[in-house]
Structure 1
Amino acid sequence: MNIIDLYEIMAQSRADIRKKVVIEFLKESAGSSEETSRYEYNVEKYGDYKIVLKRPGVFKKGFDFTVNIRGLYFKKNRRYINPSFDDIENALHYAKKHFPDDYPFVKDEINKIFNVDTYNFSKLKNVQFKDFEGNKHPIIIILLAIKWLFISEDISYWNWSGRNMFMNDLKKEDLA
């Protein structure tokens, strides 16, 4: 397993971030017939949590990767660290219901992340969500996962709408 820190990757646009991430992936060594070439990219930190990209992703096609949150588990039938879109929406619904006065700030930051604008989580330090065991976690880690899920969609759906599909789902649920 190759572990690479990419904490400082910055971009001014969707095209710029897509290019920078793809260029990093192009540096990977090819696998062999005996063994797959595997990589983990540390891309964000918040408190005891980390956002880690794992390659190859579950589909093992092209630039596919999974977005994982170290320090947090999700569960349907088994525990896992790569949140689904439903897991993200559930966390946001919890925050919206239990922190109604702060949720407009959550929505604002999601929109800034979507637009690749500068975001600021200072007003969200007390906003939380519960995991499947009932443990509370900061919503900020979900927002950082959203950032990388948007980037994943931009890369996976390069010539289509990319991040718009996920954002439209969040808007339909009045979460963004």
Structure 2
Amino acid sequence: MPIRKIEYNLKSSDRTTIRNEMIDLFKKEVPGTGRKDLSSKYIYEVESYLGYNILLKRPAPLNKGFDFIVSVETPDSLNIFPSKSGMRMLKNPSHSNISTILSDFSGLNEDIYIEIIRPLINSIYKGENVSFSNQEPIGYFRDRNNVQHPIEVILLAAKWLFIEQDITYWNWSGRAMLFSHLVDNGLI
């Protein structure tokens, strides 16, 4: 089956309705008829900022029902997140990648972080539908290859990681998993 690519704009702005909206979207997917080439695959473009795209890729390899992978597509197709081992670069950020980038940014831009980034993270965590589409970058972070990227990309990736956690771990802590990781690292 071909990969279906869909542009999607989130409408909801609270934790419960966001979760329901995304599950309703995923319920519209065409079922697969088997494994590998016979499975249905979807890529949802959910955010776009200065040529960067936040993509949701389904199904996720761990096969947890409504689970998805959050992926960041850069204008030059770079993989900007180091893997756990540090041996490879990936398009999908981990909680550790998010906190490391935010920590580095905070260290270099403490005032901007405290006045702008931290409140944005709190708004995103609360489920507010934050968008940066018509805005100049707040600031930049550098990847391992010293290439600059707008910090908004990390905030948008975090937004969708929060949503992914709510869908996958609703009956447990959901989005609090990533948020607690940020709190534990002094970023909130």
TM-score range, shorter chain: over 0.9
Give the root-mean-square deviation of aligned CA atoms.
1.7
**Corresponding position of 1:174:** 186
What TM-score do you get using the length of structure 1 for normalisation?
0.93
CA spacing shift, 1:120–1:48, aligned 2, 3 Å: closer
Partner of 2:160 in structure 1? 148
What TM-score, normalized to structure 2? 0.87
The verdict on how the C-alpha distance between 1:156 and 1:120 changes in structure 2, with shifts beyond 3 A counting, is closer
Q: 1:114 aligns with which of 114, 121, 125?
A: 125
Aligned pair in 2 of structure 1 residues 30, 135: CA closer, same or farther (>3 Å)? same
* CA positional deviation for 1:95: 0.6
CA distance in 1, matches of 2:138, 2:154: 14
Q: How many residues align?
A: 175
Counterpart of 1:43 (choices 46, 54, 60) is: 46
CA distance in 2, matches of 1:124, 1:169: 28
Aligned to 1:95: 105
* Equivalent residue, structure 1, for 2:33: 32
Residue 134 of structure 1 aligns with which residue? 146
1:46 to partner: Cα distance:
0.5
**Percent of pairs with identical residues:** 38
Provide runs of 4+ in structure 1 moved above 3 Å: 118-124
Instruction: After superposition, give the CA deviation of every residue in 1:15-73 in whole Å (9 maximum; x if it has no partner).
Output: 00000101110011111125211100000000010000000112122011000000052
How far 1:117 moved relative to its partner?
2.7
SS of match in other structure, 1:101: helix
1:56 to 48, 59, 69: 59
For 1:88, the aligned partner's letter is: I
- Give 5+ residue unaligned stretches, structure 2: none
Separation in 1, partners of 2:117, 2:138: 11
**8 Å Cα contact 1:102/1:124 also seen in 2:** no
2:14 aligned with 1:3: no
